[in-house]
Amino acid sequence: MSLAPGSVIGIIGGGQLGRMSAIAAARLGFAAHIFSPEAEGPASQVAAFNTIADYADQAALRRFATAVDVITFEFENVPTEGLALLASLKPVHPSPEILRVSQDRLLEKRFLNDTGLPTAPWIEVLDETGLAAAFATIGLPAVLKTTRLGYDGKGQAMLRQPADAAIAFATLAPKPLVLEGFVDYAAEISVMVARGADGQIVAFDPAENRHKHHILDLTLAPAPLPPELLAEAGAMARIIADKLGLVGVLGVEMFVTATGGLLVNEIAPRPHNSGHWTLDACPFSQFDMHIRAVAGLPLPLTTRHSDAVMKNLVGPEDLALWPRILGTPGLIAHHYGKKDARPGRKMGHVTRLFPKGGLPGEFGIADALNIE
């Protein structure tokens, strides 16, 4: 069933992903209703309706579900009981089952491997004896990660020598953990894929992601890699969307290995920071795609009209560039409306477009933004 204009799309989470989803909803004549513990957050500022309450507040979740036509989220760590309550009252897309898989690295890796998709080698770690056995198998260096609640490099530790293990095990919580073989990757890429309620699947071009202090810094679209590799990455993302029975948009993060292989690192069943370039380089963005999918509408083409470099504006240092960004021709600026520019906080992003095939070479990328 497709939603008519005037319908209300409930979005759990009040950050920038919710903000840009709410704007996409408004473009199609829908109203967004944000559920967030934070008053006047990035999404609430642009939404028609708001519920300000804790994610565990069952009464508030019930009122919210009653007031909307369909429910989606931009924040993945919604308590399971809350999700079950929402799903008993209104359609929830992507489904709570998909969230359960993506919230838990072990379920996620099992799902990926069962689907025939390669990941870095991994072993579940329950205790210190298990950890010693795991790195005897996987070898060092390796990465020890929490299975839940990790983001932007939080909840993980690099193990270079056996002596690193005890302290990493003691610090990381909650347990169990997972030990992953360290991938000496040539590049990190991501694919945004969307699937409609009717099973139609579309994928944006894979993009390359570069991180600074564990936070996404730059996205280059398309990823400057051989076309066969990009096609393979797109095909893998489609398989994931299909197998999950996804309704909505999903980000698939992958490593490109030194030998040109692909390993899936993570999936995120929501719009993703590495898909922000689609706002300016494609007729329909990842947010348009997400809203269309959850509203039961047909999915349009994902063809890009331009190549793009996207840079995140993180913390007070990057935000200090804002007036110069506005004065720099060709920079497309996005501000998330956050009042407090704490270090490490994503405050906005800028995109510069290039003619197709005209992405600057390696030496030009550092200057691609040319903030004057």
Contact residues: ligand AMP, CB under 6 A: 120, 143, 150, 153, 156, 180, 182-183, 188, 211, 253, 265-266
Q: Write out the two tokens for 35.
A: 């559920």
CB of 266 to ligand AMP, least distance (A): 5
| Interatomic CA distance for residues 98 and 108, integer angstroms | 9
For the chain, how many residues are written? 372
Question: How many other CB atoms sit within 10 Å of the CB of residue 307?
Answer: 22
In this structure, the strands spanning 215-221 and 307-314 are antiparallel
Give yes or no for a contact between 348 and 336, defined as CB atoms under 8 angstroms apart: yes
Which residue, 100 or 211, is less far from ligand AMP as judged by CB?
Answer: 211
CB of 143 to ligand AMP, least distance (A): 4
Which residue, 115 or 156, is less far from ligand AMP as judged by CB?
Answer: 156
Give yes or no for a contact between 268 and 251, defined as CB atoms under 8 angstroms apart: yes
244-255 per-residue burial string, b: 16 or more CB within 10 A, e: under 16: bebbbbbbbbbb
Which residue, 37 or 150, is less far from ligand AMP as judged by CB?
Answer: 150
Q: Which amino acid is at 310?
A: M
Which residue, 45 or 156, is less far from ligand AMP as judged by CB?
Answer: 156
| Interatomic CA distance for residues 285 and 34, integer angstroms | 20
CB of 295 to ligand AMP, least distance (A): 29
Query: Taking Cα atoms as reference points, which of 283, 232, 285, 270 lies closest to residue 77?
Result: 270
Query: Taking Cα atoms as reference points, which of 54, 19, 24 lies closest to residue 36?
Result: 54
CB of 141 to ligand AMP, least distance (A): 8
Which residue, 71 or 183, is less far from ligand AMP as judged by CB?
Answer: 183
CB of 118 to ligand AMP, least distance (A): 12
CB of 253 to ligand AMP, least distance (A): 6
Which residue, 150 or 261, is less far from ligand AMP as judged by CB?
Answer: 150
Strands in 74-166 per DSSP E = 122-125, 142-146, 156-159
CB of 256 to ligand AMP, least distance (A): 12
Cis peptide before 343 (omega within 30 of 0): no
Which residue, 212 or 324, is less far from ligand AMP as judged by CB?
Answer: 212
Phi and psi angles of residue 155, each rounded to the nearest 5 degrees, phi first: 75, 30
Q: Which residue is nearest to ligand AMP (CB)?
A: 183
CB of 155 to ligand AMP, least distance (A): 7
3-class SS of residue 202: strand
| Interatomic CA distance for residues 259 and 71, integer angstroms | 42
All residues at 6 or more sequence positions from 138 whose CB lies less than 8 Å from its CB, including other chains: 121, 122, 123, 179, 180, 181
3-class SS of residue 231: helix
CB of 124 to ligand AMP, least distance (A): 15
Which residue, 210 or 356, is less far from ligand AMP as judged by CB?
Answer: 210
CB of 225 to ligand AMP, least distance (A): 17
Which residue, 150 or 337, is less far from ligand AMP as judged by CB?
Answer: 150
| Interatomic CA distance for residues 275 and 312, integer angstroms | 12
Which residue, 102 or 302, is less far from ligand AMP as judged by CB?
Answer: 102
| Interatomic CA distance for residues 225 and 190, integer angstroms | 12
